[in-house]
Amino acid sequence: MKISFCLIVKNEEKHLRKCLNSILPIADEIVICDTGSTDGTIDILNEYSEKYKGIFNIFYELWQNDFSYHRNRVADEAKNDLVAFVDADEELTLKTDTKNEVLKLLKSYDLVQVKANDIQKGKIAMTFLRPLFYNRKVYRFAGIVHNKLNYFGKKQKPETSYTGIELTHYGYDLTPEQIERKKDRTLPLLLRRLDNIEDKEVLFYLCQMYFTVGDKDKGYYFGLRYANEGDDIKLKYTTIYTLCDKYLEDKQPDKADELLSRFIDENISLDLYYMLLRIGITLQNKEYIRKGANSFIYRYQEYTNDISLLSKSFSFTFNINNLVFCYFYLSVVNSMDYKNNWRQVKDNYENLDSEFKGFLSAQINYYQEKNILFI
């Protein structure tokens, strides 16, 4: 069994070397389609193709305004049925025996997911499970933009998750100019999807796109539509978190409270419990703080013990900073387990990033000096 890695690229000189270096240790073949690069991408491809003879299969094709077309086209060019699709702005972190472990999994599963982190402003902005390895005999990409793998075989094997690989995606860590170019490329494709009234998923992506480019009115419009009409729980919870985050940013906590209260239930996502904490802090609601923080801590441990739970949601909040923040606010509201909560803050303090340490230190000083407790 061998694995072919597949990429479509255009003007990717910034991240391409990092991507290729990360996949070379486990790739038997690397198939790349360039769709019109004008920067140094072609030079990098030629350099690697010369250095690693027999590994690279590089071809060129004009962009067809359809991501699935190009992804499937590259997969069809591969020598092997076991395929891994990566973007040029992604990087893999591997364990020592990753390839052998992946090949064992692919004997029993047709699709293997890995933990992925989106980076924005140099930090992890979102964590989720991302399909990486798949059998091209039974999976094909569908959708012109924000496409996904669809199964077309006769008897579907279960999917699985693998913790020996972590994927880092830098594609959302963009300058204002890059955001504008991304909008110009992606927005027309999303708007085309609106023609299909059955395609509710496009409402989610339009919400995210419009908020990204600063058009809040349209972001709210499409986000609320998806919250009301969407049927994918994973995308719905992400949409609700995004909307509530924007409401708090716009100093409208009552609207955030009203929206979140419609979706509080026993199976709520990690992110929405954290949002309940944030709303509680803003509204000085002790009950919200306790429920949000305690529930987040419980769910955080579940996610840590079983990474497959990330398949049910994208997560903006699955990180140590937010875990410590929950313990801290449970201390602030004089939780019954005050000493344990405060110990958790102190024990994990050195694991926090420097910016969050500064923020937390300011919060600690504030409450110590003012001795303020929520009522």
Same domain, 260 and 361: yes
pLDDT at 267: 63
Please identify, among 124, 150, 169, the residue that sits at the C-terminal boundary of a domain: 169
Please identify, among 122, 142, 169, the residue that sits at the C-terminal boundary of a domain: 169
Instruction: Enumerate long-range contacts of 101-104, CB under 8 Å, 24 or more apart.
Output: 101/162, 101/164, 102/3, 102/26, 102/133, 102/162, 102/164, 102/165, 103/1, 103/3
In a domain, 287, yes or no: yes
Please state, in angstroms and as integers, the Cα–Cα distance from residue 155 to each residue in 67, 109, 194, 308, following that order.
27, 12, 32, 22
The DSSP call for residue 275 is H
In a domain, 175, yes or no: no
Contact 29, 55 (CB under 8 A): yes
In a domain, 104, yes or no: yes
Angstrom distance (rounded) from CA 170 to CA 183: 16
The boundaries of the domain holding residue 306 are 232-370
Contact 372, 364 (CB under 8 A): no
In a domain, 126, yes or no: yes
Q: pLDDT tens-digit profile of 292-312?
A: 999 999 999 999 998 888 887
pLDDT at 336: 59
Token pair in block for residue 346: 């102190």
Which residue type sits at 8?
Answer: I
Same domain, 238 and 118: no
The DSSP call for residue 158 is P
What is the CATH classification number for the domain harbouring 137? 3.90.550.10
In a domain, 145, yes or no: yes
Residue 266 pLDDT > 60, yes or no?
A: no
Same domain, 55 and 156: yes
Q: Which residue has the higher pLDDT, 284 or 182?
A: 284
pLDDT band at 313 (very low <50, low <70, confident <90, very high): confident
Token pair in block for residue 250: 């716009």
Same domain, 157 and 283: no
Enumerate helices (H) and strands (E) in the chain, giving the number of each: 14, 10
In a domain, 99, yes or no: yes
Q: What is the mean pLDDT of the chain?
A: 91
Q: How many domains does the chain have?
A: 2
Please identify, among 114, 149, 169, the residue that sits at the C-terminal boundary of a domain: 169
Residue 96 pLDDT > 80, yes or no?
A: no
Whole-angstrom Cα Rg for the chain? 22
Same domain, 254 and 155: no
In a domain, 327, yes or no: yes
What average pLDDT does the segment 94-98 reach?
84
Contact 83, 6 (CB under 8 A): yes
pLDDT at 335: 61
Q: Which residue has the higher pLDDT, 172 or 236?
A: 236
Q: pLDDT tens-digit profile of 123-170?
A: 899 999 999 999 999 999 999 988 889 999 888 777 898 988 999 999
In a domain, 350, yes or no: yes
Ranking 74-88, 114-128, 166-180, 348-362 by mean pLDDT, the lowest is: 166-180
